[in-house]
Amino acid sequence: MLTLKVIIENKEEVIRRLAKKHFDGAEIIEKIVALDFQRRSIQSTLDATSAEMNNLSKVIGELFKQGKQLEAADAKAKTSDLKETIKSLSSDLDNVEKELNDLLVTIPNLPHESVPEGRIAEDNVIECTGGIIPDLSADALPHWDLAKKYDLIDFEMGVKITGAGFPVYKGKGARLQRALINFFLDNAREAGYLEVQPPYVVNAASGYGTGQLPDKEGQMYYCQVDDFYLIPTAEVPVTNMYRDVILQENELPVKNCAYSACFRREAGSYGKDVRGLNRLHQFDKVEIVRIDTPAHSYESLTEMVSYVQSLVDKLELPWRILRLCGGDMSFTSALTFDFEVFAAAQKRWLEVSSVSNFESYQANRLKCRFKNEDKKAQLCHTLNGSALALPRIVAALLENNQTPEGIRIPHALVSYTGFDLI
């Protein structure tokens, strides 16, 4: 969440930048400013009352030593009143701080100045493109038909076992999944990312730390008995490894990668681009996460975008990179680049990665800090990216590489799959 310092010292600027995300922040920002003034006033009175209480306690001790019992008793009676005042002020302070925090978590992150204006996906800006879109025959099949033809994915079996959006991968389809996971993890390791294997369920504090809660509560699967949430991405557990941690500046940037299954309810998306692998409730993904200094985080973002581009190039897929507009960005992001690959049989672009800088927004929730040369602790910047999400990568690979002989496997994957043709 945004820091109070940023809001109080840059009120008009905050309101202006929030408007790019189509968030009307004027009223709520004014409430926060008023509550902060109230909080500081209560805190000042509380500090003064506590100091008076401490001084009076010392006086009482001296009066007893001097044998002035009556004066000591009068002073002691006054401490009872001060204790009640302190108790009341502390309660008032807790209430104001809770109200203040409840408002702060409803404010999205400020978009970077380079974020374009716009409300919807069509307003996103195409940064660059690469690869070659294949020229398929008129009878080319979409991936869901190819999956059935070659017995790679059983969508109906997934419905029987669980429900729509939970496919069953079979034979070479399952091997292709495993090959892609290992391919992505090996590439991440070679790029300097430390592989970790996190839990697939997290507590509410972890969901809060990375901003899924309370903003995306309806999109997460919830285990009510244990008060756990199934992760929507490995970003959540991996970033929370650094919750309440103070790093040293020479330890940054921290670079982690993780494979996980991801679980998303996708509430409100029914009937929208859901055919085949286009939109699932459970899918596999390799995530890269970085913790960095504010001075270096945008250089890290550029490096992460270049790294994801190298993956789609190795997979021989046509791709494009979009700079997301204010209205299409996530609640927590300051700047996001989306990667899309072209699925030639569907004749459409499919999102396969989002690479984002959250600046200090997540770190403030996480209390993830670092100490500089002056030994002063300050908030880190956090970043993450899909590298990559599998379902739509698989969809594009199957569609784009279909031939009369079968489905060709890109050269970079052959050593992982153990076969070059399906």
CA angle 121, 126, 132 (to 5 degrees): 115
Report pLDDT for 266: 82
Which tens digit of pLDDT belongs to each residue from 145-181? 999 999 999 999 999 999 999 999 999 999 999 999 9
Cβ neighbours of residue 318 under 8 Å, at least 6 residues apart? Answer: 129, 130, 131, 132, 133, 134, 341, 342, 400
12 is in an annotated binding site: no
Residue type, 300: S
Residue pair 286/181 in contact by the 8 Å Cβ criterion: yes
- The counts of H helices and E strands in the chain are 13, 18
Selection from 343, 230, 357 nearest residue 283 by Cα? 230
Q: Could you tell me the CATH number of the domain that includes residue 306? A: 3.30.930.10
The model carries a pTM of: 0.93
Closest CA to 382 of 259, 219, 245, 228: 245
The residue range of the domain holding 88 is 4-104
233 assigned binding-site residue: yes
pLDDT (0 to 100) of residue 269 = 57
Answer yes or no: is pLDDT of 300 > 80.
yes
Coil, strand or helix: which one is 37? helix
Q: What per-residue confidence (pLDDT) applies to 383?
A: 98
- Residue 30, pLDDT above cutoff 70: yes
Would residue 167 count as lying in a domain? yes
Question: Residue 294: inside a domain, yes or no?
Answer: yes
pLDDT band at 217 (very low <50, low <70, confident <90, very high): confident
The pLDDT > 90 percentage for the chain reads 87
CB neighbour list of residue 245: distance below 8 Å, 6 or more residues apart: 368, 369
* Residue 301 scores a pLDDT above 90: yes
Is the per-residue pLDDT at 289 higher than 70? yes
Same domain, 217 and 282: yes
Of 64 and 290, the structure prediction assigns the larger pLDDT to 290
Which of 298, 302, 308 minimizes the C-alpha distance to 359?
A: 298
Q: End of a domain among 71, 104, 137?
A: 104
Q: Which of 51, 72, 104 is the last residue of a domain?
A: 104
At residue 78, the pLDDT reads 80
Instruction: Say how many C-beta atoms besides its own lie within 10 A of residue 81's C-beta.
Output: 10
Instruction: Confirm whether residue 287 is marked as ligand binding.
Output: yes
The residue behind tokens 């010392």 is 58
Would the annotation count 352 as a binding residue?
A: yes
Q: Does residue 362 sit within a domain?
A: yes
357 annotated among ligand-binding-site residues: no
- For residue 305, give every residue at least 6 positions away whose Cβ sits within 8 Å of its Cβ, in sequence order, or none: 321, 337, 355, 385
* pLDDT of the residue at 63: 65
Q: Is residue 422 part of a domain?
A: no
| pLDDT for res 2 | 96
Same-domain check for residues 44 and 188: no
Q: Which of 76, 104, 132 is the last residue of a domain?
A: 104
- The answer to whether the annotation marks 256 as part of a ligand binding site is no
Residues 66 and 208 reside in one and the same domain: no
Domain identity same for 132 and 257:
yes
Give yes or no: residues 126 and 88 share one domain: no
Assess contact for 297 and 356: CB atoms under 8 A. no
Given this model, what pLDDT does residue 214 score? Answer: 87
Tally of structural domains, the chain: 2
Q: CA 297 to CA 293: how far, in whole Å? A: 6
pLDDT at 76: 72
Q: Are residues 158 and 307 in the same domain?
A: yes
Q: Are residues 320 and 214 in the same domain?
A: yes
Same domain, 251 and 380: yes
Q: Is pLDDT above 80 for 246?
A: yes
Annotated ligand binding at 84? The verdict is: no
169 with 310, same domain: the answer is: yes
pLDDT of residue 15 exceeding 70, the answer is yes
Question: Please, which pLDDT band fits residue 20 given cuts at 50, 70 and 90?
Answer: very high
pLDDT band at residue 268, thresholds of 50, 70 and 90? Answer: low
Res 216: pLDDT = 77
- Same domain (yes/no): 250, 349: yes
pLDDT per residue as tens digits for the range 302-328 = 999 999 999 999 999 999 999 999 999
The per-residue DSSP string of 52-93 comes to HHHHHHHHHHHHHHTT-HHHHHHHHHHHHHHHHHHHHHHHHH
Res. 271: pLDDT tops 60: no
pLDDT of residue 42: 97
* Contact assessment for residue 286 and residue 257, using Cβ atoms and an 8 Å cutoff: yes
| Residue 354 annotated as part of some ligand binding site | yes
Q: Is 156 annotated as a binding residue?
A: no
- Domain assignment of residue 115, yes or no: no
Kindly report, residue by residue over 351-372, the tens digit of the pLDDT.
999 999 999 999 999 999 999 8
Over residues 232-260, mean pLDDT: 97
DSSP 190-244: HTTPEEE---SEEEHHHHHHTT-TTTTGGGS-EETTTTEEE-SSTHHHHHGGGTT
To which H or E segment does residue 377 belong?
Answer: strand 377-379
Give the model's pLDDT for residue 191.
Answer: 98
Residue 177 within any structural domain of the chain:
yes
Residue 138 has pLDDT above 70, yes or no: yes
Cβ atoms 365, 208 nearer than 8 A? yes
Q: What is the pLDDT of residue 59?
A: 76
Interval 36-93: pLDDT, tens: 999 999 999 999 999 988 888 777 777 677 776 767 667 677 888 888 999 999 999 9
Return the H-helix or E-strand segment holding 10.
none
In a domain, 85, yes or no: yes
In a domain, 357, yes or no: yes
- What is residue 270's predicted lDDT score, i.e. its pLDDT? 57
Specify whether 202 is located in the same domain as 256.
yes
Residue 421 DSSP class? B
Residues 142 and 88 in one domain: no
Min mean pLDDT across 74-83, 117-126, 190-199, 313-322 is at 74-83
CB 169 within 8 A of CB 372: no
What is the CATH classification number for the domain harbouring 33?
A: 1.10.287.40
